[in-house]
Amino acid sequence: MVVSDGVMGKGDVQGKGDQSITCIRLVSLNVPARVKKGSEVQLSCLYDLGNASLYSLKWFYRNHKNPEEQEFFRYTPRGKPVKCITCIRLVSLNVPARVKKGSEVQLSCLYDLGNASLYSLKWFYRNHKNPEEQEFFRYTPRGKPVKQVFPLEGINVDFYKSEGGTVFITETNGMTSGNYKCEISVEGTFQTVFAEKLMTVDVILLQ
């Protein structure tokens, strides 16, 4: 992921009267040029208000697909707390810790998007032999197609039963064991949250 000057911080000040001229300046905008996927990123905006008082500080985002900038964070020290314009959270990730070989498994990802709209929900898999995570299911409610399955060894997705945040995996085997991650993105800001859990398939050897 590349983070560029498309992320902008804007500040508004409230002056102390029409007779005074308030000189304000944005001292520095700290946005890393490149970051790794899945990492946490700190953005900071340092400013000098002179003799003025801060009215609001807003963060905006845009990219080549969405050139119209959109606000995603607002700080108003004297206003009602509106810190998160689009507050999304992953409520629960249901992945069984242990399952029997050959059984059907249901994975589910429950989320709260606040006032946002879902852009995509993706499921990823990785194990000790393949540490690089690979996508095996995608749900995009406004996309064509709405849902997609990407074949992986050991991951047999029931296409017809799987929908939204729920995925059914059949004929589990030793290759099905691994880490499962659910990743959710919303429209507009493309804010993303994810969670990951380990599932182990018990392989019973017949004597």
Per-residue pLDDT tens over the stretch 39-92 = 888 988 988 888 888 888 888 888 776 666 777 787 777 776 544 555 788 889
Domains present along the chain, CATH in parentheses: 8-75 (no CATH), 89-201 (2.60.40.10)
Q: Is 174 helix (H, G, I), strand (E, B) or coil?
A: helix
Q: Tell me: the pLDDT tens digits for 135-175?
A: 999 999 999 899 999 999 999 999 999 998 999 999 999 99
Contact 97, 198 (CB under 8 A): yes
Contact 133, 125 (CB under 8 A): yes
pTM value is 0.60
CA geometry: angle 182, 184, 187, nearest 5 deg: 165
Question: Per DSSP, which regions of the chain are E strands?
Answer: 8-14, 25-30, 44-48, 53-61, 70-75, 89-94, 98-100, 105-112, 118-126, 134-139, 147-149, 156-157, 166-170, 178-186, 192-202
